[in-house]
Structure 1
């Protein structure tokens, strides 16, 4: 009886879930932390260790394993799950933020500073308060205001002047796409955006459609820029003359996502949609194409090119050694040197007399 041995490969064990993503009260701030042995879940308040000290945050994802690019990364750890005492302290700090905002506006009014307060953020331990504000007159000297705030609030004060993009991040809102603003939901850093990103994607240069809630160019213009730049590579530019299967014409429009162009034919001004496969490369004229059929039929014999030779003189020229050639001056070089010397001597200033010569009177000729 033949024994049949069945072997089954055991499935590979999944990597352990050891990190979690945490979001803080300030919009746009999110980071990754190690959970250790804590039973973390999604949408749970936790106390984590940051560079600014302990902070209260909320998990925005379930515990997960590390991504390939996060294998060697070192993350801070989650200290504990938030307790009732931690939540009550956060409520107390929230009340202090409202009172600090009123004090800020009153002192700014007394000092006649054109400042607009956007947000006050107290640390979890209450040892420092950060004020986020804007100014209508650029940079403003606010050291006196910070000193008065520290005296009245009895805590350390941090002043942060921000711009239009940070204002939209702190206040939040809904974008024209119907979703929450990227800067206030998940975007961490602002990448530079220019009008070049809109031109590359073929968008209409309408400021009302390209500007976001902050009044600047939308951050989402950069999301698909690399894709459009890659698809646009190889397409003939607008206004270029091309040959296609429908005839010769000029490119009037580009469809980047379809990788097609609209060609207007020269003969009857009719528009055609042409793909890259429909375009015919323009063949440059070569000397063989311009030759006559008779010349093409019979190959021409290779005739050596005539060389220009000087007539031989009756008397042979004497041989000159290298030393004699180097020592013999060239008459052309000598003439050129004399001309340059005469120009320099003409521009030369008259010699100044010494102090002793100035006192002496010129002697009369005898």
Structure 2
């Protein structure tokens, strides 16, 4: 089986496979690799290991060498150049009066390729801008439009939980998220309460969803009637983590009780909520 080493180029970024080229690496080491846009500096996420051939979609590009102090110094210099390039790009965008918000500029490690990330409400005709940018920077320039989630990933920030946003730390891929996931977790369907810094639904709704479904088990959904130690009642709210439900008793009054004390009504029960 082919041997690969896992490399990541930015925190929270995607992990790519490279050919270790008979070299040994430890997790956390910085290396220089060959990419479609030239050389790049990356961090080893996982040492070399064997993988099934079918897991590789294209021929592996090689790891060229372990990063040297000179390579790390060059990377720091490129970061300074990227900040200057972004400022100049902003001037050119203003000159062309384009509805673009520049997010980040990124040079390839050899300095021969500059990628500028931007966001915009719709499609932008930036052909004239791209031509002038190429003449200004004397390198190959690529303008890449990204969505709201990718903007948050590049810029980072603090989430509602008080921790750095997941997409900029450990979440390398964006999974589909729906309002149904918030409903399954008994969260208020208020956009300001279930949206992240990007304005989209919180990513954590996805990776906590399965746990909430498991906690809910066979319990009927909110709004359904159940048997309780105090008679028939309708479920109003459920705190799945605490295992506590708030119910409206058919005899009158509202009570809190353990989820384990709630039993589904039989299908032929006259007190089922078919009557509202």
CA contact (8 A) 2:33 2:63 kept: yes
Provide the residue aligned with 1:240 in structure 2.
224
Q: CA deviation at 1:254?
A: 3.1
Q: Secondary structure at the match of 2:97?
A: coil
Provide the residue aligned with 1:41 in structure 2.
26
Provide the residue aligned with 1:120 in structure 2.
105
CA contact (8 A) 1:117 1:134 kept: yes
Two-structure CA RMSD over aligned residues (Å):
3.1
Encode CA deviations 1:95-125: one digit per residue, 9 max, x unaligned. Answer: 4323422331222222222332221111122
Taking structure 1 as reference, are residues 241 and 187 closer, same or farther at Cα in structure 2, changes over 3 Å only? closer
Residue pairs, 1:102-121, within 5 angstroms: 102-121=87-106
Q: Gaps spanning 5+ residues in structure 2: where?
A: 270-276
Taking structure 1 as reference, are residues 255 and 177 closer, same or farther at Cα in structure 2, changes over 3 Å only? closer
137-146 or 229-238: bigger deviation: 229-238
CA distance in 2, matches of 1:164, 1:254: 32
Provide the residue aligned with 1:256 in structure 2.
240
CA contact (8 A) 1:263 1:272 kept: yes
Q: CA deviation at 1:209?
A: 2.9
Q: CA deviation at 1:141?
A: 1.4
Residue of 57, 74, 78 corresponding to 1:93:
78
Matched, 1:191 2:175: yes
Q: Secondary structure at the match of 1:129?
A: strand
How many correspondences in the alignment? 263
Q: CA deviation at 1:236?
A: 2.1
Matched, 1:133 2:118: yes
CA contact (8 A) 1:20 1:35 kept: yes
CA contact (8 A) 1:251 1:261 kept: yes
CA distance in 1, matches of 2:232, 2:72: 74
CA contact (8 A) 2:82 2:107 kept: yes
Taking structure 1 as reference, are residues 241 and 164 closer, same or farther at Cα in structure 2, changes over 3 Å only? closer
Taking structure 1 as reference, are residues 103 and 27 closer, same or farther at Cα in structure 2, changes over 3 Å only? farther
Provide the residue aligned with 1:31 in structure 2.
16
Residue of 158, 161, 180 corresponding to 1:177:
161
Matched, 1:207 2:191: yes
Q: Secondary structure at the match of 1:226?
A: helix
**Highest RCO, 1 vs 2 (Cα 8 Å, sep ≥ 6):** 2
CA distance in 2, matches of 1:129, 1:36: 27
Provide the residue aligned with 1:325 in structure 2.
none
Taking structure 1 as reference, are residues 241 and 115 closer, same or farther at Cα in structure 2, changes over 3 Å only? closer
CA distance in 2, matches of 1:224, 1:231: 11
Q: Secondary structure at the match of 2:168?
A: helix
CA distance in 2, matches of 1:205, 1:280: 26
Q: Secondary structure at the match of 1:121?
A: strand
Taking structure 1 as reference, are residues 118 and 269 closer, same or farther at Cα in structure 2, changes over 3 Å only? closer
> Which of the pair is proportionally richer in strand?
2
CA distance in 1, matches of 2:11, 2:239: 42
Q: Secondary structure at the match of 2:71?
A: helix
CA contact (8 A) 2:222 2:235 kept: yes
**TM-score scaled by structure 2?**
0.79
Q: CA deviation at 1:94?
A: 3.3
Q: CA deviation at 1:148?
A: 0.7
Q: Gaps spanning 5+ residues in structure 1: where?
A: 1-17, 286-366
CA contact (8 A) 2:7 2:15 kept: yes
Q: Secondary structure at the match of 1:227?
A: helix
